[in-house]
Structure 1
Amino acid sequence: MNQKCAAFFEWIRGRKIAVIGIGVSNTPLIRLLAAKGARVTACDRKSLTELGDLVEELMSLGVTLKLGEHYLDELDAELLFRTPGMRPDIAPLCQARERGVTVTSEMEVFFALCPCKIIAVTGSDGKSTTTSLIAALLKAQGKRCHLGGNIGRPLLPDIEKIEQGDVAVLELSSFQLMTMRRSPDVAVITNVAPNHLDWHTSMEEYAGSKENIFLHQDENGLLVLNADNDYTRSYAARAKGRVLLFSRREKVDDGCYYADGWIRRVRNGADAPFLRRDELHLPGDHNVENFMAALCAVRGLVSDDTVRRVAADFAGLPHRLELVRELDGVRYYNDSIASSPTRTRACFASFKQKIIVILGGYDKKIAFDDFGADVVRNAKAAVLIGVTAPKIEQAIRSAAGYRTDTPILRQATSLEEAVREARALAAPGDVVVLSPACASFDMFRNFMERGDRFRELVSALN
């Protein structure tokens, strides 16, 4: 164990530590803190019944549970871990700071203690695929790689196993980055577009949180940016270290770009073709961008042969333009990850034909005005569900080029009904895609559950 870890675990022994949120990211953290001798209080709005079997386990570890409506009242701790989805400026946390409580997060402590190189990825779209690609490239090169963060696995509980020669590869959300005061050795920003405006106070705050991934780098840091995105391109001027750019539209001075069917690399003044588009297994033009971002991030760490091998084999992640099945000549794709209009635009661009798309869900306060025109241009039909269905329908009907039944519009009260409607509208040769352009929280716990349900429904068609 490195000295920083040893000192931290020695410090927490016997101290009062509160953890807000008993969920996927914090439950392993609670176990770790309790095992190291801290006096842990786990706080959550959930009830004993909702926590289920986890209650008995946590109580057996000596963890005090503070549950229900008043779970944030009078937080008694010296160190407090907030859950990523909780705003850091809510009154109970501000009051805790005024009492001298240190408010932090699992990711902030991981950055402080991690002994190895950190590569981290953020962005509005494509961050999970890019993060996974980077990890796949490093592992294929034979490096010991630890993949985690917003992609679903906290890494602080594994900190004692991480060695100096390893590489930690992290996906970071704007929620995690908002209070970060450290940056990774290699920072990647895939793009920035309106998202999570139901949580962030403004687009400026959202975009500003993304900047924390590189603002604390020094001259040895590497920043990888999307040259085609207005926000990310502007970040280059504030970078302290080296900047590599990737682009699908134009040549870059240092990094990667796409032209004439080739992914090209530019380095040390040399511009050369590196990989043909048809050698990349991933579908969609947006995945060309994700691959170029990953290629820049691992420069100097992975051989060309390894890159080509991974490019040919890496098939992507579930819920991202995932082919579910073909039935009666109709292909059904699960793109449940598309929780914003920009993601669904990427879905549209992945098909040469007009598609039948299932749209709608939870309202993140993102405007759909411009998106309506995208649907008109790219959809044969749109089946609308969820809270945002009326807003999306209005945007489509108001868009230039809309004519009655072009595209065909249907509303459905559930995903089950939407799948039935889509099937009824489809003819041999058509493509049906769940690409909602919205979050899932009005009907499902997360986009994975939504995608799993879509997969079940489509697989059950006969």
Structure 2
Amino acid sequence: MKSTNWVVLELSSTQLIDLHKSPHIAVVLNITTDHLDWHRDRDEYVNSKTQIVKYQKDNDFAVLAYDYKDSRKFSKLTRGEVFYFSNSKKVNGAYVNNGRILLEIRNKKIEIGRVENLLLRGRHNWENVCAAVCASYLAGASINSIKQTVFSFKGLEHRLELVGEVGGVKFYNDSFSTNPQTTIAAIKSFSEPITLILGGSDKGLNYDEMAKEITKSTVLNSIIIGDISKKIKKSLQKSGYKQNITELGYPKTKKIIEEAVKVTPKGGIVLLSPAAASFDMFKDYKDRGNQFKEAVKSLR
């Protein structure tokens, strides 16, 4: 590795909590509530995240999610130059306006392209793209290389990954979703009827907000598995969810898929977006996602 090479790190709260050095370019996405099985409370969780900007110098950059109050607050904690990204508001940085991805920075306004041409589903991915556009431009990437990358990127494994289509039903693997907010983002990415596979081990999180969003969404079937089955079911019932709820306990993945196929209409979606950790039934989220993909392939 040379001194001119860029190193890109994704840092969790458990890595940041005792960090006393901040990166040259820090990107802060939407801060949800997570890892309460590890942190004392949400305040400690959020405070640990602030380390990513707290030790920046005057010549550093902070790229912050403007649409979320907790992320915007980081602007007061850094000595670096602050830029924002937004899925709907005009900001100093990158944003979406009338379906266009725009970079407005240092007296320049550059159109990157249209959101309809992205290969990624979901409005939350507009934010991710805007964050990447802004950070890569600050790092010195050319506009042409930014455009080429943005519109050819198909996403990462286990993150709203299209596994395939069988019998007119599409199967999506979002096993990386280990908290309610990421599942909310996933279900908002679809207008088709959804069979949602939820559940796993408990991280001390609250599922009431997620249940309300599920109730308002196109989720027609909720298949619940694992340690927090009863917790999720209680939240769904409390929210007034009137659609089908199936509790399967701790089944083999093949059994989950068989149940999903039974209840999902043609033209619908089977979405694995668990909103929970995987350790009650699987080695990790990758194992969970890989077993899901293998079970779908066995249908063909």
Q: Distance in 1 between matches of 2:33 and 2:216?
A: 21
2:213: which partner in 1? 374
Q: Distance in 1 between matches of 2:21 and 2:106?
A: 29
Q: Verify: 1:412 aligned to 2:215, yes or no.
A: no
1:309: which partner in 2? 148
1:47: which partner in 2? none
User: Per-residue deviation at 1:280?
Assistant: 2.0
Q: Distance in 2 between matches of 1:437 and 1:352?
A: 20
Q: Verify: 1:422 aligned to 2:260, yes or no.
A: yes
Tell me, which stretches of 5 or more residues in structure 2 are unaligned? none
Query: Which residue identity lines up with residue 349 of structure 1 in the other structure?
Result: K
User: Per-residue deviation at 1:288?
Assistant: 1.1
User: Per-residue deviation at 1:211?
Assistant: 0.6
- Secondary structure in 2 matching 1:298: helix
On the 8 A contact 2:137/2:143 being kept in 1, the answer is no
On the 8 A contact 1:384/1:418 being kept in 2, the answer is no
Q: Verify: 1:452 aligned to 2:290, yes or no.
A: yes
Query: Which residue identity lines up with residue 247 of structure 2 in the other structure?
Result: Q
What CA deviation, in whole Å up to 9, does each residue of 1:9-40 have, x standing for no partner?
xxxxxxxxxxxxxxxxxxxxxxxxxxxxxxxx
Q: Distance in 2 between matches of 1:260 and 1:249?
A: 8
On the 8 A contact 1:186/1:221 being kept in 2, the answer is yes
Q: Verify: 1:395 aligned to 2:231, yes or no.
A: no
**The one of 62, 65, 84 aligned to 1:245:** 84
The structure with the larger Rg is 1
1:344: which partner in 2? 183
Query: Which residue identity lines up with residue 258 of structure 2 in the other structure?
Result: R
1:295: which partner in 2? 133
Q: Distance in 1 between matches of 2:264 and 2:181?
A: 25
Query: Which residue identity lines up with residue 58 of structure 2 in the other structure?
Result: E
User: Per-residue deviation at 1:313?
Assistant: 1.4
- Secondary structure in 2 matching 1:286: helix
**Runs of 4+ in structure 1 over 3 Å off:** 269-273
User: Per-residue deviation at 1:274?
Assistant: 2.7
1:217: which partner in 2? 56
2:43: which partner in 1? 204
Query: Which residue identity lines up with residue 235 of structure 2 in the other structure?
Result: A
Matches within 5 A, 1:112-261: 162-252=1-91, 254-261=92-99
TM-score by length of 2: 0.95
What CA deviation, in whole Å up to 9, does each residue of 1:368-416 have, x standing for no partner?
112111111221110000011111111111104x33xxx2110113233
Q: Distance in 2 between matches of 1:274 and 1:310?
A: 11
Matches within 5 A, 1:24-173: 162-173=1-12
Query: Which residue identity lines up with residue 387 of structure 1 in the other structure?
Result: D
1:334: which partner in 2? 173
Q: Distance in 2 between matches of 1:279 and 1:457?
A: 31
Residue identity over aligned pairs, in percent, reads 36
On the 8 A contact 1:416/1:457 being kept in 2, the answer is yes
Q: Distance in 1 between matches of 2:214 and 2:227?
A: 18
**The one of 185, 188, 192 aligned to 1:353:** 192
What CA deviation, in whole Å up to 9, does each residue of 1:78-122 have, x standing for no partner?
xxxxxxxxxxxxxxxxxxxxxxxxxxxxxxxxxxxxxxxxxxxxx
- Secondary structure in 2 matching 1:412: strand
User: Per-residue deviation at 1:284?
Assistant: 1.7
Superposed CA RMSD: 1.3
TM-score by length of 1: 0.63
- Secondary structure in 1 matching 2:259: helix
What CA deviation, in whole Å up to 9, does each residue of 1:180-213 have, x standing for no partner?
0111111111111100000001101110111111
Query: Which residue identity lines up with residue 24 of structure 2 in the other structure?
Result: D
- Secondary structure in 1 matching 2:214: helix
User: Per-residue deviation at 1:224?
Assistant: 0.6
Query: Which residue identity lines up with residue 426 of structure 1 in the other structure?
Result: T
Which segment is superposed worse, 269-278 or 197-206?
Answer: 269-278
Q: Distance in 1 between matches of 2:125 and 2:28?
A: 14
Cα 1:270–1:312 shift into 2, 3 Å? closer
Query: Which residue identity lines up with residue 327 of structure 1 in the other structure?
Result: V
- Secondary structure in 1 matching 2:7: strand
What CA deviation, in whole Å up to 9, does each residue of 1:237-278 have, x standing for no partner?
2220101100113111x1011111111121234445331112
Tell me, which stretches of 5 or more residues in structure 1 are unaligned? 1-161
Q: Verify: 1:274 aligned to 2:112, yes or no.
A: yes
Query: Which residue identity lines up with residue 330 of structure 1 in the other structure?
Result: V
Q: Distance in 2 between matches of 1:416 and 1:360?
A: 16
**The one of 256, 273, 276 aligned to 1:438:** 276
User: Per-residue deviation at 1:352?
Assistant: 1.4
User: Per-residue deviation at 1:349?
Assistant: 1.3
Q: Distance in 1 between matches of 2:295 and 2:83?
A: 43
- Secondary structure in 1 matching 2:208: coil
Q: Distance in 1 between matches of 2:117 and 2:170?
A: 23
Matches within 5 A, 1:7-26: none
- Secondary structure in 2 matching 1:169: coil
